[in-house]
Chains A and B, each alone.
Chain A
Amino acid sequence: MGEVILKMKEISKAFPGVQALDKVDFEVKRGEVHALMGENGAGKSTLMKVLTGIYAKDSGTITFEGKEVEFHNTRDAQKAGIVIVHQELNMLGHLTVAQNIFIGREFKKGIRIDDRKMNEETKKLFDRLHIDIEPTETMSNLTVGKQQMCEIAKAISHDAKVIVFDEPSAALTETEIEELFKIIRDLRKQQIGIVYISHRMDEIKVITDRVTVMRDGCYVGTLITEECTKDDIINMMVGRVIYENPKEKSMVAEDAPVVLKVEHLNAGKMVRDVSFELRKGEILGFSGLMGAGRTETARAIFGADAKESGDIYVNGQKVEINSPEEAVKCGIGYLSEDRKRYGIVVHKTVAENSTMACLGDYVRGLFINKKAERNISQDYVNSLATKTPGVDELVVNLSGGNQQKVVIAKWLIRDCDILIFDEPTRGIDVGAKNEIYKLMNRLASEGKSIIMISSEMTEILRMSDRIVVMCEGKKTGEISIEEASQESIMNMATREIG
């Protein structure tokens, strides 16, 4: 680790009604990987947005390479050598890798774009980073992980001195994360300062040198990663130690009836001949790598996407499900992995979102019975401990975990007995995550049956009664929680079946 390259001192930023940042200190040294942690809404992103000039700070100073600086937009920051690698990818799918990396600053030969030179430069860049991607490959043919590598390469090609990674691993598989870490270690060797934002505790321990924790817009403290434990960090983040205990054996009764049976389901390339059973009160984990076809399977069952063949039985009865409407009628609810896009309606209130799936029950004559709607919503806000100023609050103003609870409430109010939770804790902070776990266990014990799709191995092992593993659209294994281990699941997740 070298000297301090970036120092943010007593940064404050207020939005109407909220003190988003309150005198926050943060620094990065050359050749250091510095984790920035905190629950959702702790102010991590705001701090990084102040750093890169997206927000103007109210007070405080930013010192970069010994000089006080103030950026007015991301381009200013980029020029100085501070870049962000965003969680969402900003790549154009129909262009080649090289064209994407040099977009906006293409090499020219006369008035023509010099593709050959761009390819050569990209190759050089990739070699330096030990990335194995062909510069002439079309971007959309790459996996999410590879695309992320390109994004990182692009950031570095801007001659970056400080790189901010905003939850880079959220969409990556275990192997891709390994590759990412290799690159990060390389960058560290090259004396680049790295800010690493992530919710995944395991990664923090593996890759970072120091951890700075924020809570409610305030600086809590900085630890040296080697010298602290997971619990130390969690304690600083939430001010209390909590973790739902992992499951050691199945909680499902021997004679629990089968509530959902799927036979030989086929839908597109990603769902090939999938069969499984779900029993009453069971949490059935769906494990597998990114792109294994788990979400596609769920969507096909739910009728969100068309299926080609296969039979679905609910409580022993064969059902035809060709649209979400029919699925909901069968008592199936689906929590999407992408809450913002598929879960909540941002312009509507908590109450209005809660009754979205069964508004018909809250109509009296021609009109919506808003009082009843508010009451039922309030009941579920109480029982799920959703943090909201009130049921009339716009759902967009809630934090990720609480939005998730509103979506769960939507299905509970609809009285769905079969719930498909697709990555239920993605992008949710530790405290809220734990509450979601508790809630799922409670629902299961109350007789609801849950399919939980998750890419986090620890989550699968902590929550499931039984685990189905998929790989490339096929079911490659099924294992009970008693027999399951990380290794056995990983084995099945990478196994090819002819």
Chain B
Amino acid sequence: MNNREKSSSLAEIRGNFGRLGGVKLGKIKHNPIVKKLGFNRIILCCVLVLMYVLFCFTGKNFAGLPRILSALNYVYFLGFLSLGVTFVIGTGGIDFSIGPVMFCAALVSGFCLTSHGMPVLLCLLISILVGTMFGIFNGYLVSYWSVPPFIVSMASMNIAKGVASVFTKTQSVSWPQGVDANGWFRKLIKVGDFPVGLVIFLVFAVICSVILNKTRAGRYILSLGSNKEAVRLSGVNVRKWEMLAYVICGTMAGIAAIFFVAAYTTVQPGYGDTYNNEAIAGCVMGGTSMAGGLASIGGTVIGVFIIALLQEGILALGFTKDYQLIITGLIVIGAVYADVVARRRRN
């Protein structure tokens, strides 16, 4: 099976599983344990494991720790982007600016570090702040001025790129290496061979999940994604909560920037938009509905793992980065189509 088939079969699994199995599947789906974990998520986990095994057999030197650690580097920053955008998609909105905002945060804070000699800790905070600012900007325009999120985030994508270029005078920025005195922040992802980043990421995922499912913010964010007018007419300040989703998303992009530079150190201005697709793909694949109202953090986490593994696998199979773009693009379409099919069946 080559990669392209692989990606479309992913979509099929998401879209068709209900029809494939018939009665037996129905039984499995209603098993209380399966219900608790979520049938889709179990399927996604299986896909993840299968993909890994597949790459181990077909890819060059794929099995083993180095590849896993390399894939994890991808998981971290993409994971934070995906977690953030899950909130926005949960409101029925979209944010196409997260990738460039992440780069903008990394560049601005990195420039503060390398050219102005600010302390590392402060720079990391600046990174988060930059992300949050963009979140506030997007959120305010979407919720208080009712500008369509598609337009707002497209525009702020370009603004983020522009701001980063102006700030750094179109120079790329290299954060310090691990051996430097200032390189301690790289331990955020790895101490020796121990993936600290994975722990941090999973902790954040749990926090996000709690916010989404157990707090007022999460309840209102998903409810307004499902039926904004009904929530407004219940006397809820929907604008505030809708904006909050974008702010969370922006903050997450700022955190993602930290993990990006911790993994790859060098950031170039003018890029970052490819990660939008990947983050959204991970989110939607995990069962978050583009129409809003339904979101699953657990699903997003698995989705992110799949996307990251795929990026790594494609390279390991000897394809160039261009194929990554093609395949991720197809996955986004596949995942969103599966969501559309699922929604149609529900109605």
The interface of chain A, by Cβ under 8 A from chain B, is 16, 302, 304, 323-325, 327-329, 334, 336, 341-348, 352, 356-357, 359-360, 363, 366-368, 370, 410, 414
Complex interface: chain A residues within 8 A of B215 (CB): 363, 366-368
Which of B26, B226, B235 lies at the interface centre, i.e. has the most chain A CB atoms within 10 A of its CB?
B235
- Contact check, B226 vs A347: say whether CB atoms are below 8 A apart: yes
Minimum distance in angstroms from B152 CB to a CB of chain A: 23
**B213-231, CB under 8 A of A: which get 1 and which 0?**
0111001101100110111
Q: Please, how many angstroms separate the alpha-carbon atoms of A348 and B210 in the complex?
A: 17
Q: Please, how many angstroms separate the alpha-carbon atoms of A352 and B219 in the complex?
A: 8
**B279-313, CB under 8 A of A: which get 1 and which 0?**
00000000000000110000000000000000000
- Contact check, B223 vs A367: say whether CB atoms are below 8 A apart: no
Q: Which of A16, A336, A363, A367 contacts B233 (CB 8 A)?
A: A336
Asked if B237 is an interface residue, CB under 8 A from chain A, the answer is yes
- Contact check, A367 vs B214: say whether CB atoms are below 8 A apart: yes
Minimum distance in angstroms from A204 CB to a CB of chain B: 30
Q: Please, how many angstroms separate the alpha-carbon atoms of A302 and B210 in the complex?
A: 33
Asked if B232 is an interface residue, CB under 8 A from chain A, the answer is yes
Minimum distance in angstroms from B325 CB to a CB of chain A: 33
- Contact check, B226 vs A348: say whether CB atoms are below 8 A apart: yes
Q: Which of B220, B227, B237 contacts A344 (CB 8 A)?
A: B227
Minimum distance in angstroms from B259 CB to a CB of chain A: 26
Q: Please, how many angstroms separate the alpha-carbon atoms of A344 and B231 in the complex?
A: 8
- Contact check, A344 vs B216: say whether CB atoms are below 8 A apart: no
The interface of chain B, by Cβ under 8 A from chain A, is 26, 210, 214-216, 219-220, 222-223, 226-227, 229-237, 293-294
- Contact check, B234 vs A357: say whether CB atoms are below 8 A apart: yes
Which of A302, A324, A334, A414 lies at the interface centre, i.e. has the most chain B CB atoms within 10 A of its CB?
A324
Minimum distance in angstroms from B24 CB to a CB of chain A: 14
Extra A-B contacts (4), CB below 8 Å, given A341-B227, A344-B230, A363-B216: A341-B229, A345-B226, A346-B293, A359-B220
Q: Please, how many angstroms separate the alpha-carbon atoms of A328 and B234 in the complex?
A: 8
Complex interface: chain A residues within 8 A of B232 (CB): 304, 324
Complex interface: chain B residues within 8 A of A341 (CB): 227, 229-230
Minimum distance in angstroms from B344 CB to a CB of chain A: 13
Q: Please, how many angstroms separate the alpha-carbon atoms of A345 and B230 in the complex?
A: 7
Q: Assuming the A-B contacts A352-B219, A366-B215, are A334 and B233 also in contact, with contact meaning beta carbons closer than 8 angstroms in the complex?
A: yes
Q: Which of B214, B223, B233, B294 contacts A302 (CB 8 A)?
A: B233
Q: Assuming the A-B contacts A363-B216, A368-B216, A368-B219, are A356 and B236 also in contact, with contact meaning beta carbons closer than 8 angstroms in the complex?
A: yes
- Contact check, B223 vs A348: say whether CB atoms are below 8 A apart: yes
21 cross-chain CB contacts under 8 A: A302-B233, A323-B237, A324-B233, A324-B234, A324-B235, A325-B236, A327-B235, A329-B235, A341-B230, A343-B230, A345-B231, A345-B293, A346-B293, A347-B226, A348-B223, A356-B223, A357-B235, A357-B236, A359-B216, A360-B216, A367-B215
Complex interface: chain B residues within 8 A of A323 (CB): 237
Complex interface: chain A residues within 8 A of B237 (CB): 323, 325
Q: Please, how many angstroms separate the alpha-carbon atoms of A343 and B223 in the complex?
A: 12
- Contact check, A342 vs B293: say whether CB atoms are below 8 A apart: no
- Contact check, A347 vs B294: say whether CB atoms are below 8 A apart: yes
Q: Please, how many angstroms separate the alpha-carbon atoms of A414 and B233 in the complex?
A: 13
CB-CB nearest in chain A for B213 = A368
CB-CB nearest in chain B for A348 = B223
- Contact check, B227 vs A346: say whether CB atoms are below 8 A apart: yes
Minimum distance in angstroms from B223 CB to a CB of chain A: 5
- Contact check, A356 vs B293: say whether CB atoms are below 8 A apart: no
Minimum distance in angstroms from A19 CB to a CB of chain B: 16
Q: Please, how many angstroms separate the alpha-carbon atoms of A343 and B227 in the complex?
A: 9
- Contact check, A352 vs B223: say whether CB atoms are below 8 A apart: yes
Q: Assuming the A-B contacts A367-B215, A368-B216, are A342 and B226 also in contact, with contact meaning beta carbons closer than 8 angstroms in the complex?
A: no
Q: Which of A302, A342, A366 contacts B230 (CB 8 A)?
A: A342
Minimum distance in angstroms from A114 CB to a CB of chain B: 36
Q: Which of B210, B214, B227 contacts A345 (CB 8 A)?
A: B227
Q: Please, how many angstroms separate the alpha-carbon atoms of A357 and B237 in the complex?
A: 11
Q: Please, how many angstroms separate the alpha-carbon atoms of A343 and B216 in the complex?
A: 19
Which of B214, B223, B233 lies at the interface centre, i.e. has the most chain A CB atoms within 10 A of its CB?
B233
Complex interface: chain A residues within 8 A of B210 (CB): 367
Complex interface: chain B residues within 8 A of A357 (CB): 234-236
- Contact check, A325 vs B235: say whether CB atoms are below 8 A apart: yes
Q: Assuming the A-B contacts A16-B26, A347-B293, A347-B294, are A342 and B216 also in contact, with contact meaning beta carbons closer than 8 angstroms in the complex?
A: no
Q: Please, how many angstroms separate the alpha-carbon atoms of A319 and B92 in the complex?
A: 34
CB-CB nearest in chain A for B222 = A347
Q: Please, how many angstroms separate the alpha-carbon atoms of A352 and B234 in the complex?
A: 12
- Contact check, B235 vs A328: say whether CB atoms are below 8 A apart: yes
CB-CB nearest in chain B for A396 = B346
Minimum distance in angstroms from A310 CB to a CB of chain B: 20
Complex interface: chain A residues within 8 A of B222 (CB): 347-348
Q: Please, how many angstroms separate the alpha-carbon atoms of A359 and B293 in the complex?
A: 17
4 nearest A-B residue pairs (beta carbon): A328-B235, A347-B293, A347-B226, A356-B234
Minimum distance in angstroms from B291 CB to a CB of chain A: 10
CB-CB nearest in chain B for A303 = B235
- Contact check, A368 vs B214: say whether CB atoms are below 8 A apart: yes
- Contact check, B234 vs A410: say whether CB atoms are below 8 A apart: yes
Q: Please, how many angstroms separate the alpha-carbon atoms of A302 and B234 in the complex?
A: 10
Minimum distance in angstroms from B93 CB to a CB of chain A: 16
Complex interface: chain A residues within 8 A of B229 (CB): 341-342
Q: Please, how many angstroms separate the alpha-carbon atoms of A368 and B221 in the complex?
A: 14
Q: Please, how many angstroms separate the alpha-carbon atoms of A82 and B124 in the complex?
A: 68
CB-CB nearest in chain A for B294 = A347
Q: Please, how many angstroms separate the alpha-carbon atoms of A345 and B226 in the complex?
A: 6
Complex interface: chain B residues within 8 A of A370 (CB): 214
Q: Which of A16, A329, A356, A414 contacts B231 (CB 8 A)?
A: A356
CB-CB nearest in chain B for A302 = B233
- Contact check, A345 vs B223: say whether CB atoms are below 8 A apart: yes
Complex interface: chain B residues within 8 A of A325 (CB): 235-237
Complex interface: chain A residues within 8 A of B234 (CB): 324, 328, 356-357, 410
Minimum distance in angstroms from A366 CB to a CB of chain B: 6
Complex interface: chain B residues within 8 A of A360 (CB): 216
- Contact check, B214 vs A346: say whether CB atoms are below 8 A apart: no
Q: Please, how many angstroms separate the alpha-carbon atoms of A360 and B234 in the complex?
A: 12
Complex interface: chain A residues within 8 A of B235 (CB): 324-325, 327-329, 357, 414
Minimum distance in angstroms from B221 CB to a CB of chain A: 12
Minimum distance in angstroms from B243 CB to a CB of chain A: 15
Minimum distance in angstroms from B288 CB to a CB of chain A: 12
Minimum distance in angstroms from A372 CB to a CB of chain B: 13
Complex interface: chain B residues within 8 A of A327 (CB): 235
Complex interface: chain A residues within 8 A of B236 (CB): 324-325, 356-357, 359
Complex interface: chain A residues within 8 A of B219 (CB): 352, 359, 368
